[in-house]
Every structure is written in C-alpha cells, then in structure tokens.
Amino acid sequence: MADHTVDSAVPLPPDAAGGALPAGAEDVSSIPPVAQGRLAQRDEGYLRLAWRRFRRSFVGMLGLVLVCALLIMAIFADFFAPMDPKDQTLSFAAPDTILFEQSDGSFSLLPKVYPIVESDKLDPITFQPIDGPDMAHPVDLGFFVKGYSYNIFRVIPWNIHFFGAVSGVPIHFLGTDKLGRDILSRGIIGSRISLTIALVVVFLTTTVGTLVGITSGYLGGRIDTWVQRFVEIVLAFPQLPLYLALTTLIPVTAPSNVFIAFVVAVMAVLGWAQLSREVRSKTMALARIEYVRAAIAVGSGDFRIITRHILPNVLSHIIVAVTLAIPTVVLLESFLGFLGFAVKPPLISWGLMLQDTGTFSVIGSYPWILSPVVFVLITVFAFNALGDGLRDAVDPY
Amino acid sequence: MSATDLAPAERLDLGTHGRSLILDGRNIAVRFKVEGGLVEAVRDVSFQLHKGETIALVGESGSGKSVTARTVMRLLTKRATIDPKSKVVLDGTDILRLSEPQMRALRGNKISMIFQEPMSSLNPIYTVGQQIVEILHLHNRISRAEAMRRAEKLLEEVQIPEPAARLKSYPHQLSGGQRQRVMIAMALANRPEILIADEPTTALDVTVQAQILNLLKDLKAKYGMAVILITHDLTIVRQFSDYVYVMQHGEVKEHNQTEALFQSPQHAYTRHLLASEPKGVANPLAAGGQTVLEGKKVRVSFTLKRGGLFKPDFFELVAVDSLDLHLQRHETLGLVGESGSGKTTFGQALIRLIHTQAGEVTFDGQRIDQFTRKQMRPLRRRMQIVFQDPFASLNPRMSIRQIIEEGLIVNHIGRNTRERVERVRQALRDAGMPDTILNRFPHEFSGGQRQRIAIARAIALEPEFILLDEPTSALDLSVQAQIIELLRKLQNEKGLSYLFISHDLKVVRALCHRVMVMQHGKIVEQGPVAEVLNNPQTDYTRRLVRAAFEIAA
C-alpha cells in the first residue's frame, strides 16, 4: 500500500509558486513548499518566522537591545553603580565636571573628573558655602575599579565596579540628592525595584487576565455574561483614588517589603481586566475557526482545544500586550512613588527618587535631581519600541 | 511551437478583423520585493486589445493575471517595480510613463475596473447614489441634480429594479449581485473605452454570476467598449471572450482566438488546463447497501433578536427545515444549493457539530441526536469532516505531524509514538503527499497541498463517513480535478461514504451518486445525479443547471 503514491492516477498537486509543470508525476520525496528562496531551505516554525520579521524593524531591534541592557543593568546593578547608593557626601552637589585636561590645563587623552567640593567662601546673600569643581585635584577614571563591597546574587562577595574613580574618591556624574547620595548609582540600583514591580505586576495581570479571558471566551453563554459584567465593574473603578485609598490602608509601620507586596497586589487587582477583554475577544474568534471545529470533529476535549489550539494562537497577542503593559506600570510606579505611595525608604526606586523634586525651588536650584526621569523615559521607550516591533512580527502568516 | 517557446508578442489574428487597436501592452514585467529577494510576478507579457472586443486573461492563482491588469491601471503597491522596458500604449501615449495626476484623469474615465469583491469595494457609510455621483463629479463639471439624474439612468442600465429608490440605499441593503451591478454602474459612469473586469463574478452565486456576465456582454455591445476579462473559469472564457491569453507563472504561455484555442490548444499548460475540468462519474453502487447515516425530520433554527430593550421580540430563522436524508455505505450524496440555503448547517448538524432542534439522526444504527459531546467522542473517529478553506482548517502553529496525529492521540489509536507516526505517514501517502513533510508547517504549502493534508487528517482515523464541505471551492481548477480524483480513489480503496456539500454542479456530477438540491432550508429536488442534472424538474434546479453548464440566466 505504501508504493501507490507516484503511479496513481493522481498527479501531485501542482505548486502555485514552484516551477514544474503539473502534468506527469513528480518525484514524491521532493515536493517543493510554496515558499521560495530562504524560506524553502528549512522547515520553518513560528519562532523563526516571527524573528525574521522582527529583525526587519529597526525600532523594534533598538527596543530589544535597550530592554536587554536594562535587564542586565538591573540584575548586576551593584556592579554598574560607581558609588554606594547609601553613602552620603555633599548635599545637592552638581554633577562633576569631566574634562580632557590635566590640572595644569594641558590636554589629557583620558578624561579626568574634577569633583565638586565646598570652598571656604560663603555666598554673600544666603551664607551657604559656595561649591565648585576642585580644579587642583583631578581624579582618574577607570573601568573595573575597586569600590564598595557588595554580593553578586546575594552570595558572592565582590567589590569590583564597572567604572568609577581609580582612587575610590566619591564622584557624582549626575550630582547628588538632598542627603548627598549619588543620583546615578541610585538610579541604577533603583531600576531593580522599579523593574521588579513592573514585571511582577505584569506577570500577575497577564496570568489572571489570560485565564479569565480564555475561560470566559471559550465557555461563553451565561458564565461569559457574568464574568464580563464583573470585568466591567473592575474597569469602571476610578483607579487613581482607589490606588491611593488602598495604599493608605497599609500601616505606616509595616516593613517596606510588605508595603511593596501590597502595592503590587493592588496594581495587579486593578490591572488584569483590560487584558482579559482582549484575550476573550480573540478566543471567541478562534473558537469558531475551522481548525478548532476540526479538532472537535476528531474528538478532542475542551482542555486539549484550549491548550493546543487556542492558547498558542492568542499567545502572540499576549506577548505584545505584556511588553506594552510594562511601561504603563513603570510610569504608574514612578507616579505613585512621587506621591509617596509606592515604595518606602530605605528601598530605592525611580518614583521615590523623584519625590525630592516636589518643590519648585529645589528644581530651580538643582535641576539635576530630575535625572531619574531619564531612566523612566528610556525604560518606557525601550519596552514600547520592543512591543511595537513584536506587534508587527507576531503574525507572520 | 514547442512547449518552452514564449508566445509571440503579436496577436495571431493580426489584420484578420477590421477593429482598431486601442490598448497595446508590450513586454510588461513586474517585480515584487519580498522577504529574501525579488519575485517576478509578471515576465515579458504582451497583449493587444481592439475596440469592441473582449480579451480574457486566464490562469490559476499566482499566474500574474491580476498584476498585469493592475499594471495597466497603475494600481500596484509600492513594493512593486515595473520594468523600464514595459510599455502600455493607449492612444499613442505610454501610460506607464504618465504622471500620477495624468493617470488619475484617465482612471475611471477612459479605463475603469471592476473588482472581485463587491462587499468591500463599496463604502458602507455612503449611499449608492452618493458614490456614483462622486465618480461623475470627478471627471465632469455638472450640477448635482444632473449627476443624480445620470446616476439613476446608470442604475437603470445595469438593470437594478426601482433605480430611483435604490439611489438612496446603503450598500448593506443590497444583495451581492446588486452590489456588483452598482460597481459596474460606477465603472461605466464616464463611458470608458476600456473596462477591466478582475474576476467579476467569483464571489457570487452561480445564477447571479450568469446574470452579471450577460449584463456585461450587453453593455459592451451597446457602448462598443473593449473589455479585459480576468478569470480562472474556462466556461466563462469560452462564452464571453473573443481572444484568450493563457498565463502561468507570470508568463503568457499561449494566446489565440477563443474558438481556435479551445479546439486545438498548442501549449502543454493550456492542454492541462482544458483537461482539468472535472469529469468522469462516480462508480456504480452495489444495490441494497447498508445505511450509514440517516436523518429524519432534522430541524435546525437560530433564534435572533429583533425589537428593542422595552419591546423584546425574537424570531426564529429556520436554517434546516425538517429534512430527511439517508446515505448508504460507499455512496456519495451531493448537497447542492446557493449560499444561505442551509446546506452546510444541515451537514454539520448531521455529524453533531451543530445542535438540532428536532428530528432524529442515526449513525450506523445508533441514534446520536441526543448525544452530548462526550458521548459523541467514541463515534468521532468514524465520521470526519473536510472543510472548504484549507487556510483556516489547519492550525498554523502546529506541524503537519501534530495536526494529523491529534486525532490518533485523543482517540488512543496506536500503542506508541512510533506506531502513530507510521499511521500519519500512511495517511499522507494515501492523500498523495510525500511522508517526509512531518515537521513542516501549514504555511509552507499551497492551497491544494493543504487540502490534501486536511484529507490526510480525516482519513488517518480510518472513518466510515466523511462530510466534505465544499472541499474544492477554494482551489484552482487543475487542483480541483486532482482532489476529486483523490476523493474518488479513496472511496474505492477504503469504502468511504461521502456527504458532499457544494454549489458547483460540475464537481457534483463528477463525484456523486445522488444529489439533493436545497433552497431556503428545504429540499426542492433529489434523485440520481444524471436524472436531476439532465432533466431537472423544478425551476430552481433548472436555473442552477443552466447557470453552471451554460452560464445563462
């Protein structure tokens, strides 16, 4: 029975794009796929197709690189931070001057940092000590320098930093905050908390949203009606007052990790509804498509249909939704942190760092303390760009 | 002429008729930028069009016939590049070198085009009248009232009843055929010299198709237009065109006067195309066969909402109205009707993919109409289905092996993976596909190949009965013929019974033993295929038969 394929009355299907004339039998083993060129060479799974499309998008690739860089920076934050974020030096010091100059004014190939120091002179009006770059004592910069001690992954003790002052003198590329702590180092270390909150919240909302959406969309009927009414109620909540109200429920004395867990829980509870709607509508469309009917016709059960046919096909949509949801949470965190409702000291987050910028006089006198905004901006841009690139790539058929 | 020779650029009937040349396309070549390189969609195509005649561009999907037409209209996407050697001369000017404003003045004025899909070519938020008036205003400086008058006359010309009232209708209020008539009215609004009709009737029911084509023919004669007809349907070509260009892989393989081409096709591809009309008949049936599937007074209806919040009102749409059906072992029963006649609903209700409201369904002596999905599961492997659209019926995320193996896994067929894979291979071979494609994905295959994979999925379970829901409608003609051959062969080898749902009477004649004709959820006529098709008793069947075999309304 195995050998009747070539000489049967049925010639092989002619190929829309392939070359051979349909008359007569072709070699069975070499039936050409429709796709030509590079496509034809290998059996191409979904990932390969999506990746090839993704690679074409410059913005998407840029987003991917930035997101990877951000994640690496967050994971090895201590390594990348030049200063101990808790170390206090001069309060509200301006960013250090970096010059390609020796202290005598001659050219230097390697940049030198002139740290800001307080001088003996006082400002005649405010009677504050005047500070400025210490031109007499340049500091050499270097890579992989020794600095404060930390533990990689909380276990391996280490004290090498990616870059910093060779001599270990305090340097502040982005200046210092109210308590004289290095803003750059705090920004780098703060990415940990900010990104962790974002990732955990998005993980929770995605899981809940997907489960609710698929169940509701696939089962349909009365269950769907009631679930959707509930989703509508969640969506109708005025979110901001609710955030504030819920976060004030936490006792002020609660340890900061409990506080964060609570904030994450609140964000997750209010955040899953939108995604569940999108997943539901996708599921409903897929549940009527013919390959799902074909699966019913071969006798597949609901669980199999959901896991093998529906979930893989909504997954692309979910991945895009996730990448686009992360910046929203980062922004929300920075906003709530600014209001003092997200993260409490001694933890560091971008939102918390921006809390110092609350008064006009501070921004006017020390504009560099706004620099955590740049971290937020880069993060939001990176994830949005990645999400946009993915959106075009996930539907390659 | 040998099979590999390119067709000559000049027409074979040059100088044999007195008509003057109106459009002269020379060496048209179009390339598309795609991932991984360039695709030559059209290569060195030349054609000539004379006043008052119809030329047909024939070919299967991907042959470049639509691209050629769009090149003439300059409606190609940005990814396309037209070769600089290409020339399309209209009235002494090469329209490929006109500027965009000059081209706009030409489009819809001297040259117009009708598209395949009447559903999406009309804007749903404007009335029919507004859309026709817009076209008139683009090229003429006339008053609104005058434009409206002309629009009404146009609708009258395309034989839409009550044209004055129809002007105020929105597209959704019209049927598919009427929409296509409106499209034709719009195309004719400025009395074009050339009309390009790109598969004008493919999306329409057969009876409507005949009316539209005859309308086009009449209008062509009335205004002395030249028509470029793009189609894959050879019956249409034979009936409506004067000169034919056969295209394959972006090249003109052969061209000739219609009759001459059909009488003595020269090129191997043309011969292949002509030979791929569905032919043959089903093998005769042994008398007194056992009944596999039986339906008695099967009724399917859908409850639709009508009325508002305060005055709720429901009405019942009866899709299948108390129908009987019985199918013997080894038999193929055709279920024929136009779209909306309820034939697919009836078929899917019989294998319990759709709920029935009343009636009995018996499968192999077992009554199944009250079975739940779980109770149906043991029976599923014995009854299978092949869908119309092979692009929607295969999950794009699963490999060919996973697709075919699924039924084996859920039905616990095969003791281990090796046994199952062997069965998958066997099913692929039976369906005429190589068994080396297990790890490929559906998107790598053409429509016909996918349909074979869908058939392999069905026969892997070794069913006794397969519901074939228009399995050939989405396929090219030559592929269609092969699928029919395959189905016939499988029936002989495996003793399958088919319920074959189709609107295409030619295919039905080639494959079925008996046929049932459905209209509005009722069966209007049934009997042996030869009897029903050769000697139809009801008006409706007569219309269907005439439309299918003669393209006459």
- B203-244 pLDDT, tens per residue? 777 778 888 888 889 888 888 899 999 988 888 888 889 999
Which pLDDT does position B135 carry in this prediction? 87
In this predicted structure, the answer to whether residue B467 has a pLDDT above a threshold of 90 is yes
3-state SS of A54-71?
A: HHCCHHHHHHHHHHHHHH
The arithmetic mean of pLDDT across residues B492-503, rounded, is 89
The arithmetic mean of pLDDT across residues A208-223, rounded, is 91
Pairing of strands B313-328, B465-469: unpaired
Pairing of strands B514-519, A107-114: unpaired
Q: Which of A10, A17, A304 sits opposite B432 (nearest CB)?
A: A10
**pLDDT confidence band for B551 (50 / 70 / 90):** low
**pLDDT confidence band for A10 (50 / 70 / 90):** very low
Contact between chains at A299 and B411 (C-beta distance less than 8 A): yes
Query: How many angstroms separate the CA atoms of B291 and B293, rounded?
Result: 6
Environment class of B527 (CB within 10 Å of its CB; exposed 0-12, middle 13-18, buried 19+) = middle
C-alpha dist (Å) from residue B545 to B34, B419, B550: 43, 47, 8
Which pLDDT does position B506 carry in this prediction? 85
**pLDDT confidence band for A6 (50 / 70 / 90):** very low
Q: Is B449 on the interface with A (CB under 8 A)?
A: yes
**pLDDT confidence band for A18 (50 / 70 / 90):** very low
Calculate the average pLDDT of chain B. 86
- SS3 percent helix, strand, coil of chain B, rounded to 5, is 35, 25, 35
The arithmetic mean of pLDDT across residues B311-334, rounded, is 85
Render pLDDT for A324-382 as a digit per residue (tens, 0 to 9).
Answer: 888 888 888 888 888 877 777 778 888 888 887 777 777 777 888 888 888 889 999 99
Side chain identity, residue A40? A
SS3 A40: helix
Helix axes A256-287, A221-236, angle to 10 degrees: 140
SS3 B195: strand
The arithmetic mean of pLDDT across residues B519-531, rounded, is 89
- Hey, which residues 160-219 in chain B have their CB within 8 Å of chain A? none
> CA-nearest residue of chain B to A19?
B249
Distance of residue A224 Cα from the nearest chain B Cα, in angstroms: 19
Contact B58, B231 (CB under 8 A): yes
SS3 A325: helix
Contact between chains at A294 and B387 (C-beta distance less than 8 A): yes
Q: Residue B28: what are its φ and ψ, rounded to 5°?
A: -70, 125
Considering chain B, what percentage of its residues have pLDDT values greater than 70? 96
Check residue B521 and give left, alpha or beta (phi > 0: left; psi -120 to 50: alpha).
left
Render pLDDT for B336-363 as a digit per residue (tens, 0 to 9).
Answer: 988 778 888 899 999 888 888 888 899 8
**pLDDT confidence band for B7 (50 / 70 / 90):** low
**pLDDT confidence band for A28 (50 / 70 / 90):** very low
Query: How many angstroms separate the CA atoms of A306 and A301, rounded?
Result: 9
**pLDDT confidence band for A397 (50 / 70 / 90):** low
Query: How many angstroms separate the CA atoms of B73 and B108, rounded?
Result: 9
Render pLDDT for A66-87 as a digit per residue (tens, 0 to 9).
Answer: 999 999 998 888 888 888 888 7
Please report residues of A whose CB lies closer than 8 A to that of B392.
289-291
Which residues are registered as beta bridge partners of B227?
Answer: B54, B195
Which pLDDT does position A139 carry in this prediction? 79
Which pTM does this prediction carry?
0.77
> CA-nearest residue of chain A to B460?
A298
Contact between chains at A34 and B444 (C-beta distance less than 8 A): yes
C-alpha dist (Å) from residue A374 to A176, A364, A369, A382: 15, 18, 11, 12
Contact B30, B66 (CB under 8 A): no
- Hey, which residues 11-40 in chain B have their CB within 8 Å of chain A? 34-37, 39
Lowest mean pLDDT among A49-63, A79-93, B100-114, B151-165: A79-93
Which pLDDT does position A53 carry in this prediction? 81
More confident residue, A389 or B311: A389
Render pLDDT for B39-70 as a digit per residue (tens, 0 to 9).
Answer: 888 888 999 998 889 999 998 877 888 889 88
> CA-nearest residue of chain B to A304?
B410
Q: Is B429 on the interface with A (CB under 8 A)?
A: yes
Which pLDDT does position B287 carry in this prediction? 67
Contact B182, B174 (CB under 8 A): yes
In this predicted structure, the answer to whether residue A24 has a pLDDT above a threshold of 60 is no
Query: How many angstroms separate the CA atoms of A85 and A348, rounded?
Result: 9
Contact between chains at B446 and A15 (C-beta distance less than 8 A): yes
Please report residues of A whose CB lies closer than 8 A to that of B381.
298-299
Contacts (Cβ under 8 Å, ≥6 apart) of B336: B343, B502, B503, B505, B508, B515, B516, B517, B518, B544
Contact between chains at B432 and A8 (C-beta distance less than 8 A): yes
3-state SS of B445-481?
A: CCHHHHHHHHHHHHHCCCCCEEEEECCCCCCCHHHHH
Contact A213, A276 (CB under 8 A): yes
Considering chain B, what percentage of its residues have pLDDT values greater than 90? 15
Which pLDDT does position B6 carry in this prediction? 56
Which pLDDT does position A65 carry in this prediction? 94
Contact between chains at B389 and A39 (C-beta distance less than 8 A): no
In this predicted structure, the answer to whether residue A7 has a pLDDT above a threshold of 50 is no
**pLDDT confidence band for A44 (50 / 70 / 90):** low
CB pairs under 8 A between A and B: 161
The dihedral sign for the CA sequence B194, B199, B203, B205: positive
Which pLDDT does position A20 carry in this prediction? 35
Tokens of B357: 């409201």
Which pLDDT does position A125 carry in this prediction? 79
Environment class of B210 (CB within 10 Å of its CB; exposed 0-12, middle 13-18, buried 19+) = buried
Render pLDDT for A92-145 as a digit per residue (tens, 0 to 9).
Answer: 777 877 777 777 777 777 777 787 777 777 777 777 777 777 777 777 777 888
Which pLDDT does position B36 carry in this prediction? 65
Please provide the DSSP assignment of B50-77 as one string.
ETT-EEEEE--TTSSHHHHHHHHHT---
**H runs (alpha helix) in B3-159:** 65-73, 100-106, 128-139, 144-157
Q: Which of B380, B406, B479 sits opposite A13 (nearest CB)?
A: B479
Contact between chains at B387 and A299 (C-beta distance less than 8 A): no
Q: Which residue has the tokens 């499988």?
A: B490
Render pLDDT for A260-287 as a digit per residue (tens, 0 to 9).
Answer: 888 888 888 888 998 999 999 999 988 8
Distance of residue A316 Cα from the nearest chain B Cα, in angstroms: 11
In this predicted structure, the answer to whether residue B4 has a pLDDT above a threshold of 60 is no
CA dihedral A162, A165, A167, A172 (to 10 degrees): -130
Which pLDDT does position A172 carry in this prediction? 81
Side chain identity, residue A70? L
The dihedral sign for the CA sequence B145, B146, B150, B153: positive
Side chain identity, residue A329? V
**pLDDT confidence band for A205 (50 / 70 / 90):** very high
